[in-house]
Amino acid sequence: MMGGSSSFGKKPKGKIRPPKSKSANDFDQAETWRKLKSSIREIQNHHSNLLSYEENYRYAYNMVLFKRGEFLYDGVGELVSLHLDQQASSIIVPTFPRSATALAGLSAPSLSSAAPLELGVASGSGTGAGGGAAMSSVERGVEGELFLKAIKGVWDDHLSIMSKLRDVLKYMDKTYTPSAKVPLVYDVGLTLFLKRIIRSSLHPIHNQLISTLLSQIKLERDGEVINRSAMRDAIDILLSLREKEGGPSVYDTDFEKVFLSWTGEFYKEEGERLVEDCEAGVYLKKVERRLEEEAARAQHYLSSQTSASLQKHLQDNLITAHLRAILTMPGSGLVSMLDSDRMDDLARLYRVFGKVPLGMKELKKAMKESVKERGEKVNEGFQDGPPPPPGPGPGPGPGSGPSTGGAGAGSSMGGAGAGEEGAGAGGGEKDPKGKGKGKEGGAGGASAAGALQSALRWVQEVLDLKDKFDRILREAFSGDKTVQTAINEAFESFVNANPKSAEYISLFIDDNLKKGLKGKTEEEVDVVLDKTITLFRFLTDKDVFERYYKSHLGKRLIQGRSVSDDAERGMVAKLKIECGYQFTQKLEGMFNDMRVSSDTMTAFKTHLAKTTVPLFELSVNVLTSTFWPGNAIPAGTIIPPLLKQACVDFESFYLSRHSGRRLTWQPNQGTADVKARFKARSHELNVSTYALIVLMLFDELDEAEELSYEDISTSTQIPAADLTRTLQSLACGKYRILTKYPKSREVATSDSFAFNDGFTAPLAKIKIAMVVNRVETGEERSETVERVDEERRHLAEACIVRILKSAKTMSHIELMNEVTRQLAGRFQPTPSMIKKRIEALIDREYLERGSDMKTYTYLA
């Protein structure tokens, strides 16, 4: 009989009526018990179909009715115990797995607690009962399955018997058990199954069961196929049994603790072995597979409550214990994964490490260290580059640029390419604008070009590194914000460790916003600029970047070299989003100056058309000194009369339209297109305004007549550094318009120069590029730092006054924190710097200290 259904042969018709009343003298206990006992044995022997349910119910009813309930209760328990002992001996013991012989000496845990078992299931083989040859895994699996099925069969049979007994003894359960405060007969049956089968004192079933369950799990972990249904049935039996009602199940006390402890040891050994034998990627695959296997195992036949503890044992022994070892495995750890862009391994690393609390912490730390180390290598690769040559910096930059008088307006002659002036060097004829192409010449030019390329390569390598880790973050780490933060912190660290990073980033933007870029569309340029903005965010000294950017933007605007006005304004808009309106206010003022200058030149040309016919075309940009970078070049350059007259005409026209303004001419910013006649042919030369002034000196000389360096300097009054670079570009570059004596690649004050009448070149239009150092020299950098420091002092003082003017009174700590917060968008002020500025404001009576010396008050 299986299950809980009742089956009796002689079923009563209609209702069961109580027996006719009898006296105690009429009741024969011995005879009644003999008959009921016989019926119970028939039920246990599966002959219940021959019995009468009504008759047996009345036997039990009469025994309870005549106060023999205790005798009946105990007698039934004894019969059930005897039957279970017989079932254990005849059905279960013969199926003991031979592979469990090693467990024969183990003692079963007490009924009150489950003692840890020293189970011999970790090995890959077992011995037969007679000490025979090693058994195969298939044999061990089959024997374990038969044993578990035997226990399941006895369990099902027992439940069926107890279900029938419960029906027969229903009156006892209703009347006797509540008053005696003892369990119902069915519950007694479950308790007896635990005592006489699972924890039998006659047979080592308990040890056999636990070891068989673990052995089957071990086989499955080793890749063998086992009968999961048999495992599930056995586990369900343990979950159904309890020592006492409301207490923990036998699964909890006898199996789970042993299983988890054994599992921990198993995976501890496996983790240590795999770390030694496997590379990181393989190790992670095995770990991930183990996690999936154990999750499936818990779902299919273990208790669901075991899943969390089981996963924790795996995580502790396979992941947490080996975090650093996995990350630092030589040739296969995190660095190797990143080097080889092994996205699958990196994604697996992220998933596995994300399962333990310390995993992500270690992963983020390792990622940050790796990014920082790579960035430091990029920085080191540009520290030992060729030193830039001495001389002035890039043209409008710190130390140079347009200047104006008190009226707030200035003028640059020639506009460094935005507007050109041209004059015939030989014939004085009016020539159309033409632009030749040339290369920077001389040793200084080579060094300057090398320094620029070095700066551009640094930015490109940092961008490539950022692209690499952005892709890894996206494809392997699911865009995890915490990992992104760690990566960004590393970038911020090494980007700011390069003292030239602000200048390099500005140069890179300058290079991408210039005309004439080959192989890049405007869309591609915009993508590059978006990436560059990301690098800009990492800069802590954004005010230093602003200074360089203004310089490079100014030169692009004046020379007309911007790839497009939309691209320039788009870049400024990006900077405004990052830093706010104040950061870009002067940049937008520069654009406004260029627009106004264009309108002014249109009006000037209309004016000339009505008054006179000019010998050449003049274009002037009028720049507001407060918007444009650099200091003005002192007015002192001697401009040739032909050019001077054009300047006077423009100045008269401009001042007639704007009263109260003063113009200061900046010839160092201009360029000119000039036609030069040589013996072989004429060429259109695009030169700087300084170069034009020098060339016009030779226009009045005989063919072979020379001018010394001192003669040229005296006649032009061009600053020495600019004159040296001008002569070097004309006499030492690829296109040598002048001949230098003696011949060399450097210009000395003792040199002399003559017009090279024999010059020839295949191009009709030639650009004579100035020898210019695009990257600042050490001296210029020091000047920049001084100016930045000075500007920071003003910003800090203005910020302090603004804060206290609003708050009236504030404590020292609050003021320090608020100043730091407000200035962080431009630079990171140090506490000592803020303190000095507070002291300076107190000395100048903008602030005063409170009576407690810990607060400050604004003085109106």
CATH 1.10.10.10 is right for the domain spanning 780-858: yes
Given a contact cutoff of 8 angstroms between Cβ atoms, the answer to whether 799 and 827 are in contact is: no
Instruction: Report pLDDT for 528.
Output: 85
Of the given ranges (12-21, 100-109, 237-246, 283-292), which has the lowest mean pLDDT?
100-109
- Is pLDDT at 220 greater than 90 in this prediction? yes
Of the given ranges (161-170, 347-356, 591-600), which has the lowest mean pLDDT?
591-600
Calculate the alpha carbon distances from 285 to 260, 316, 354, 355, 473 in Å.
Answer: 23, 17, 15, 14, 20
- Is pLDDT at 435 greater than 60 in this prediction? no
- Ordered DSSP codes for 624-672: -TTTS-S-PPPS-----HHHHHHHHHHHHHHHHHSTT--B-B-GGG-EE
- Is pLDDT at 772 greater than 60 in this prediction? no
Q: What is the mean pLDDT of the chain?
A: 81
Residues 6+ apart with CB under 8 A from 584: 572, 575, 576
Top mean pLDDT of 153-167, 714-728, 757-771 is at 153-167
Instruction: Report pLDDT for 18.
Output: 56
pTM: 0.73
> What is the spatial distance between Cα 40 and Cα 84, in angstroms, rounded to a whole number?
13
Calculate the alpha carbon distances from 610 to 603, 604, 605, 619 in Å.
Answer: 11, 10, 9, 17
Instruction: Report pLDDT for 634.
Output: 58
CATH fold label, 273-380: 5 helical Cullin repeat like (1.20.1310)
pLDDT range class, residue 311, cuts 50, 70, 90 = very high
pLDDT range class, residue 606, cuts 50, 70, 90 = confident
Q: Which tens digit of pLDDT belongs to each residue from 781-827?
A: 777 777 888 888 888 888 989 888 888 888 888 898 999 888 887 78
- Is pLDDT at 133 greater than 70 in this prediction? no
Could you tell me which residue, 194 or 761, shows the higher pLDDT? 194
Burial (0-12, 13-18, 19+ Cβ within 10 Å), 176: buried
Q: Which among 605, 618, 607, 698 is positioned nearest to 665, based on CA atoms?
A: 618
- Ordered DSSP codes for 94-127: GG--GGGGGGTTPPPPPSSS-PPP----SSS---
Structure tokens at 686: 């695009």
Given a contact cutoff of 8 angstroms between Cβ atoms, the answer to whether 689 and 638 are in contact is: no
- Is pLDDT at 628 greater than 60 in this prediction? yes
- Is pLDDT at 488 greater than 90 in this prediction? yes
State mean pLDDT over 245-255. 91
Cα 101 from chain centre:
56
Calculate the alpha carbon distances from 500 to 463, 552, 635, 659, 824 in Å.
Answer: 16, 15, 32, 43, 19
Of the given ranges (159-173, 245-259, 774-788), which has the lowest mean pLDDT?
774-788
Q: Which among 220, 338, 342, 351 is positioned nearest to 288, based on CA atoms?
A: 351
Could you tell me which residue, 120 or 804, shows the higher pLDDT? 804
Instruction: Report pLDDT for 522.
Output: 74
Instruction: Report pLDDT for 403.
Output: 34
pLDDT range class, residue 641, cuts 50, 70, 90 = confident
Instruction: Report pLDDT for 14.
Output: 55
> What is the spatial distance between Cα 395 and Cα 624, in angstroms, rounded to a whole number?
17
Strands 706-708 and 671-677: unpaired
Residues 6+ apart with CB under 8 A from 71: 29, 33, 63
Structure tokens at 225: 């196929």
Given a contact cutoff of 8 angstroms between Cβ atoms, the answer to whether 135 and 124 are in contact is: no
Instruction: Report pLDDT for 462.
Output: 94
Cα 431 from chain centre:
59
For residue 673, list its beta bridge partners: 686
- Is pLDDT at 421 greater than 50 in this prediction? no
Could you tell me which residue, 641 or 177, shows the higher pLDDT? 177
Residue linked to tokens 């107890």: 162
Instruction: Report pLDDT for 396.
Output: 33
> What is the spatial distance between Cα 404 and Cα 624, in angstroms, rounded to a whole number?
7
Of the given ranges (103-112, 184-193, 566-575, 817-826), which has the lowest mean pLDDT?
103-112
Structure tokens at 811: 């404590």
Q: What is the 3-state secondary structure (H, E, C) of 689-706?
A: HHHHHHHHHHCCCCCCCE
3-class state of residue 848 by DSSP: strand
- Is pLDDT at 93 greater than 70 in this prediction? yes
Query: In terms of CATH architecture, what is 28-103+141-247?
Result: Up-down Bundle (1.20)
Instruction: Report pLDDT for 574.
Output: 87
- Is pLDDT at 669 greater than 90 in this prediction? no
Q: Cis link prior to 634 (omega < 30° from 0)?
A: no
Could you tell me which residue, 746 or 466, shows the higher pLDDT? 466
State mean pLDDT over 105-127. 39
Given a contact cutoff of 8 angstroms between Cβ atoms, the answer to whether 144 and 121 are in contact is: no
Given a contact cutoff of 8 angstroms between Cβ atoms, the answer to whether 309 and 260 are in contact is: yes
- Is pLDDT at 426 greater than 70 in this prediction? no
Q: Which among 365, 318, 401 is positioned nearest to 486, based on CA atoms?
A: 365
Domains 28-103+141-247 and 273-380 share a fold: yes
Cα 365 from chain centre:
11
> What is the spatial distance between Cα 180 and Cα 64, in angstroms, rounded to a whole number?
12
Structure tokens at 819: 């100043």
Instruction: Report pLDDT for 575.
Output: 86
Cα 658 from chain centre:
56
Of the given ranges (13-27, 283-297, 301-315), which has the lowest mean pLDDT?
13-27
pLDDT range class, residue 200, cuts 50, 70, 90 = very high
State mean pLDDT over 239-256. 91
Q: Which tens digit of pLDDT belongs to each residue from 378-401?
A: 998 876 444 443 333 333 333 333
Q: Which tens digit of pLDDT belongs to each residue from 73-84?
A: 999 999 999 999
Q: Which tens digit of pLDDT belongs to each residue from 773-790?
A: 456 667 777 777 778 888
Domain boundaries, the chain: 28-103+141-247, 273-380, 780-858
> What is the spatial distance between Cα 446 and Cα 840, in angstroms, rounded to a whole number?
47
pLDDT range class, residue 372, cuts 50, 70, 90 = very high
State mean pLDDT over 692-710. 84
Top mean pLDDT of 264-268, 565-569, 760-764, 836-840 is at 264-268
Structure tokens at 481: 């914000």
> What is the spatial distance between Cα 4 and Cα 2, in angstroms, rounded to a whole number?
7
> What is the spatial distance between Cα 733 and Cα 757, in angstroms, rounded to a whole number?
16
Instruction: Report pLDDT for 326.
Output: 95
